[in-house]
Chains A and B, each alone.
Chain A
Amino acid sequence: MLKILKRFRYHLAVFLAVLGPGFITANVDNDSGGIFTYSAAGARYGYLPLWTLVPITLVLIVTQEMCSRMGAATGKGLSDLIREQFGLRITFLMMALLVIVNLTNVMAEFAGVASSLELFSVSRYLSVPLAAVGVWFLIVKGNYKSVEKIFLVGCALYVTYIVSGFLVKPDWKEAAVYSVKPVLMLEPGYIYMLIGLVGTTIAPWMQFYLQSAVVEKGITAKEYAASRVEVIVGCIVTDIVAFFIIVACAGAIYSVKPTDIQDAKEAALGLKPFGQYAFLLFSAGLLNASVFAACVLPLSTAYCVCEGLGFESGVNRRFGEAPVFYGLYTSLIVVGAAVTLIPGFPLVTMILLSQVLNGMLLPFVLIPMVLLINKHDLMGEFVNPRWFNLVAWVTVVVIIGISMAYLGFLIRGVH
């Protein structure tokens, strides 16, 4: 009896031990840019974009699973592996792109902080600097383990979106139909939205963050089975949240009049006629998501750049020991926050741009990932199964395809 109890305790301990990376990554994914993109999609096209969530979830699971598998099998972060296998130049180029794209993402997070608190008439000149300083201290002075626990609690707050989705009483029948019925329109706005949806759900930074977090947690090849479950559940939860955001905006805004919303704030305001709670929950969710991602993004960027280029990294080191790490981390926060305070800065364009850049950079992260995970001397028995490769390559081709289509529209539009 005692033995059975001990075994059970061991398995439970293994699951709890691996709990964290997959959930956190998947949830941070629904950041301010994500919420805006989903809201905009719902407000403009109603239930039509819902079908994309199924393939997006599949691709999300496949990419996330590959990262956590690589982390567990090799014990190395993605940027380490890229450096070791592809050399310094490619690593440098990739890190430079990642910093630029992630900086636009950080701007989007602080923009999210600003607009969610402006709904409660808190000036952005107060909220954004406070959030920036708070985030900086939480990570630098806090203990990683307790920060991770705070993050896990943060994940639970995403439930607010599900509740507000129900509160606006959308047309469930239509939502169900369009969840499985693909609608393709060759219209620049629609394609722009599609790239944004893919880009916001499967962001390049996530691949780096997840793999490092798996390594940091010390998840070994042995515990990998439990970790895989965690990653898959996390991905599904993320897209359930996305589903409810689209549905909420479709029910509240599109059904009244299809609108091009300019801001996640507008989405929240659009929910107001359906009761104070729908509005409150939506805005609280936005604030949580923005702060949450503003914590994770600069940190993960600083970590993977330093790992890839061989600078010292880690919040347990002093500033003098890891100047590049702290310098990069601090400037991402400072620049990201400061930009949102410039009067007349096109915040919405920035947020959308950040999502589209995510989508465009993604193939350049996915291609090395698939190449790495197929190396037998690196992965051993954990190399990619064939159907995984198929999904990954199809993803790469499709994303390049829609990015090209979008660029084509842009160029035609200019002339």
Chain B
Amino acid sequence: MRAMCWRRVLSMLDNFLFFTELTSLPVNDVKGRRIGRVKDAALVPVVNPSRIDRYLVGGGVAWFTVRFDQIQSISLDKGIDLSDEHLTPYHDDEYMMRLGRDLLDQQIIDVTGRKVVRVTDLTLELRNDGVRDWLIVRDVDVGIRSILRRLLQGAVPPRWIRRLQQPIAPKSISWDFCNVVEPDPQRRLRLNISYQKLEDMHPADLADIVEELTPAEREAIFETIDSEVAADALSEIDPKMQASILEALEPEKAADIVEEMSPDEAADALNELEETTSEEILHEMDSEPKSEVQELLDFEEDTAGGLMNTEYVALGDDATVSQALQALQENEELLENLNTIFLVDEEGRLSAAIPLARLFLVSDGAPLKQLASESFIQVTVEEHQDQVLELFDKYNLLTLPVVDESGKLAGVITADDVISVLRQK
């Protein structure tokens, strides 16, 4: 009794078909004669991103293309029954994404799981609109369960395979959260592949994913995604790989991305490049970010000058709290990482450092100078990075001002710069 109920539940749930089952399903014409078996199936993403549009049927030597609207019914046990006689011989067209050829065994990006996965099988959902049966791609299958299916496919009847795989937990990714990677831009357009889903990911996750891909695929992603997202992700990537990505891109696109990076990270990235390439990229950059980056490029990599960035807020000696607040408003993009305001004299020489939080303790009109730290530590641009690390450690610094030979404020080193140095060691 129980077994019967269970069977009924199963058959009710039987509205899916694995791709391994679809291939080799027999195809019968309107008179019920078998004309061949399914060899592959294809999506036409510009028309519909998940509906299987074409079924490639092999009978004898030639392959036919069966459009989805030429099908009457699809079932695992009876195969595919057609409703139309007029089949066209198969010819490859560029708008077709073939599941067996282009997806199976290839790598795709699992956007929610934030990783690169290899497609072992696909779960197709069987739908019926009263007129005909059709299939949509529902999940991409990975893991042992789908490996078992692939290994047994053709050797063991499909129903048995379904029973055998029962005890293994399924591991699937919804097709909606998958992103196919296609290095060829022409083909990308025809297959309607975009990397928009990737733009919503955290830059650090995107960076991890990109590191797992091949150089051509990396290049394809950085070429098409928004420059700001690209810059954030690029900042999180290993310097050597940064260089190879920037080198592969068109100089204009590379310049767009570098402009969006913080100047010190941009300088580090350009430093890794061959001279001619980095000059090409600099040449394409807008003048303001370009001059900031160029200043930083002059410093040796392992000195304070090479570590520092120019994203700081500095005010005159006699500035008040309200002026400071105004300056902060004007530099909104810096706020996320800002914790100190610097005071400089008329010649630009550093005179005091104000911890940001102290601004809350006094009234608007108060001079900033009285909030200054009792003593502050500074280094010159030539200071070796090991000394810088030691200062951060010894004095528990978050921000360290860097001055040039004449004592003028040149930039700041922040804790995250120090952390990247330590990570690379």
Interface residues of A, Cβ cutoff 8 Å to B = 3, 6-7, 10, 17, 74-76, 80, 83-84, 87-89, 92, 218, 220-222, 309-312
Contact = CB atoms under 8 A, between A and B. Distances in A.
Contact of B151 (A89, A220, A310): A89
A83 B215 CA distance: 19
A17 B240 contact: yes
20 contacts: A6-B275, A7-B275, A10-B274, A10-B275, A75-B217, A83-B118, A84-B105, A87-B104, A87-B105, A88-B151, A89-B150, A89-B151, A92-B151, A218-B241, A218-B244, A222-B244, A310-B117, A310-B119, A310-B142, A311-B143
Nearest to B155: A89
B: interface residue count bin? 20 to 34
B120 A218 contact: no
Contacts of A7: 275
Nearest to B244: A220
Given A7-B275, A92-B147, A74 B214 contact: yes
B153 to A, nearest CB: 9
Contact of A84 (B106, B143, B244): B106
A89 B148 CA distance: 10
Contacts of B118: 83, 309-310
Interface string B103-147: 011110000000101111000000000000000000000110001
Nearest first, the 9 closest Cβ-Cβ pairs linking A and B are: A75-B214, A310-B118, A88-B150, A75-B215, A220-B244, A84-B105, A83-B105, A218-B241, A218-B240
B238 interface: yes
B216 interface: yes
Given A83-B105, A220-B215, A310-B142, A88 B120 contact: yes
Nearest to A87: B105
Contacts of A222: 244, 247
Looking at chain A's contact residues, the main secondary structure is helix
Nearest to B218: A75
A220 B106 CA distance: 21
Contacts of B119: 310
A312 B115 contact: yes
Contact of A76 (B105, B150, B214): B214
Given A7-B275, A88-B105, A218-B244, A75 B151 contact: no
A310 B121 CA distance: 11
Contacts of B105: 83-84, 87-88
A221 B219 CA distance: 14
Contacts of B275: 3, 6-7, 10
A6 B272 CA distance: 11
Given A88-B105, A220-B215, 12 more contacts: A74-B214, A75-B213, A75-B214, A75-B217, A218-B238, A218-B240, A218-B241, A220-B244, A310-B118, A310-B142, A310-B143, A311-B143
Which interface residue of B104, B119, B150, B215 has the most chain A CB atoms within 10 A? Answer: B215
Contacts of A87: 104-105
A381 B89 CA distance: 34
B87 to A, nearest CB: 27
Nearest to A76: B214
Nearest to B273: A10
A10 B275 CA distance: 9
Contacts of B150: 88-89
Interface string B214-255: 111100000000000000000000101100100100000000
A252 B150 CA distance: 56
A93 B422 CA distance: 44
A390 B241 CA distance: 35
Contacts of A221: 215
A97 to B, nearest CB: 15
A307 to B, nearest CB: 8
A127 B425 CA distance: 33
Nearest to A17: B240
A311 B142 CA distance: 8
B120 A310 contact: yes
Contacts of A75: 213-217
Contacts of B143: 310-311
Nearest to A10: B274
A284 B34 CA distance: 71
A365 to B, nearest CB: 19
Nearest to A223: B244
B282 to A, nearest CB: 15
A10 to B, nearest CB: 6
B258 to A, nearest CB: 19
Interface string B327-354: 0000000000000000000000000000
Nearest to B217: A75
A388 B151 CA distance: 34
